[in-house]
Amino acid sequence: MLKAGLSVLLAVAAPAVARERTDLLIRHATIVDVASGKTIADQAVAVGGDTISAVGPDSSISRRYTAGRSIDAGGKFVMPGLWDMHVHFGGGPELIEENKNLLPLYVAYGITTVRDCAADISPSVLEWRSAVAEGRLLGPRIFTSGPKLEGYKPIWKGTLEVGTPAEVNAALDRLQAMRVDFVKITDNTLKPDIFLYAVREAERRGMKTSAHTPYALTIVQAADAGLSSIEHVDYLIKAGSPREAQIGATYGAGKLTYGQASDAFVDTFDKAYAAGVYRELAKRHIAVTPTLNMGRILAYLDREDHSKDSALAYIGPGLRKTYDWRIERAAKATPEQVAARHKEYELSKQVMPMLVAAGIPILAGTDAGYLNSFNYPGEGLHEELERYVESGLTPRQALVSATITGPAFLGHGNRYGSIATGKTADIVILDANPLIDIKATRAIDGVILHGKWLDRAALDALLAQAKARAN
Ligand SMILES: [Zn+2]
């Protein structure tokens, strides 16, 4: 008799006892599934530590978990944190602090991961990478190339100068000792055969490569050597010229300047030919970081006044000073050169949907940091995504480039790219649906950074702090 009564009591009490504890519960959220382009209403997301431990209908998840903190995301849109796949931290040792101050700024703009594509303060960037990963520094997760490979005496500072295969081997040994995440190669003075050797050798060692390809090589040659990503969309204009090899050879022979060769690629671009080349590139699994917004800013420096840009307030005086380089170069341009820049940008826009149609993964990246005038850390990525949509990509395709392709490129697709069980809790909560209007990525209500909740007030405090430090 007593035994039967007890078992009834246990049956009633059981569900409450079974509730699991978790750190954070996001409730009544509409989840943006970027891969499918669908939204899923009234979901709850349980976060434990830096990982999403469960996602599902609010009614069932909220019955399963009790949380230290619960966020009501009713009417909000929840998507993965944004990745900026092309930034720079640089400008010399005296700008280390100004660069470090950019880290919380990225977070305030919903950017939870950045890929640093080389500059001249690599030891600091490597230190920040560890500090962020260990929770000692508030910032986006950092992937970095460390110092880039170049030829002898390039215009860039802080490079590893290589001119022989032995020097390439030694440079890659050094990069592997630094545990860099990929290898950046640029072509200011690098010899084409050494470029190809470096790409092949890096691939043999299992390292990804991102590059500015020497003009004397075709983009397909670079892809055949195993290049992992092309930085900047203008190289895809080059690839789309049926005269790419001849113009490259003439440039290689010293009979054309860099600018003349660049204009010749634009003038001889052929859409049907380019579509075929892009399909060939897609087969070789090469990705493209277009940095389209940078192209637009530089192309229209002649007619746009950036002196009142609100985001300038977040940029320190030293970094702001580095902007002069591009401005002075643009100011020296002849009317013909200005017209050529406009033409190149308009062509870049046409290239974007062609790349997507061919199946080439697009990595959203800004080129923000130092030197690249008015291309603001944080703000710049939202502008980049808007440029993609202006060029003909759908908002979903733009979001894919900023949440899915980056982690896949770096081999971390299993931990990032969706709001799903087992993924890293890098989450942005928006006031509007970014699948309908890409500008909604700016309407940030809160960010979960490696499991840490930052509400709008906390993000505003980061912005205020960035502004105070910049002045
Ligand atoms: Zn760059």
Specify the DSSP class assigned to residue 212.
P
pLDDT tens string 162-175: 999 999 999 999 99
pLDDT tens string 237-246: 999 999 999 9
pLDDT confidence tier of residue 377, bands split at 50, 70 and 90 = very high
Lowest mean pLDDT segment, chosen from 6-20, 249-263, 332-346:
6-20
pLDDT of residue 8 exceeding 70:
no
What's the pLDDT score for residue 145? 98
Q: How far is the CA of 270 from the centre of ligand 1 (A)?
A: 27
* The two structure tokens encoding residue 275: 């579509």
pLDDT of residue 209 exceeding 50:
yes
Query: Who's near 416: CB < 8 A, 6+ residues apart?
Result: 80, 83, 113, 403, 406, 407, 423, 424, 426
pLDDT confidence tier of residue 1, bands split at 50, 70 and 90 = very low
Q: How far is the CA of 211 from the centre of ligand 1 (A)?
A: 9
What's the pLDDT score for residue 16? 52
Say how far apart CA 314 and CA 31 lie, in whole Å. Answer: 31
pLDDT confidence tier of residue 325, bands split at 50, 70 and 90 = confident
Say how far apart CA 322 and CA 89 lie, in whole Å. Answer: 12
Average pLDDT of the residues in 317-329: 90
Residue 31's Cβ-side half-sphere holds a number of Cα atoms within 13 Å equal to 22
Q: How far is the CA of 35 from the centre of ligand 1 (A)?
A: 27
What's the pLDDT score for residue 361? 98
Q: How far is the CA of 117 from the centre of ligand 1 (A)?
A: 6
pLDDT tens string 12-55: 444 555 799 999 999 999 999 999 999 999 999 999 999 999 99
Specify the pTM.
Answer: 0.95
Neighbour tally for 407: CB within 10 Å:
23
Q: How far is the CA of 370 from the centre of ligand 1 (A)?
A: 9
Mean pLDDT of the chain: 95
User: Tokens 């990804």, residue?
Assistant: 208
Query: Who's near 47: CB < 8 A, 6+ residues apart?
Result: 22, 23, 24, 25, 26, 53, 425, 427, 448, 451
Neighbour tally for 72: CB within 10 Å:
11
Q: How far is the CA of 65 from the centre of ligand 1 (A)?
A: 45
What's the pLDDT score for residue 328? 86
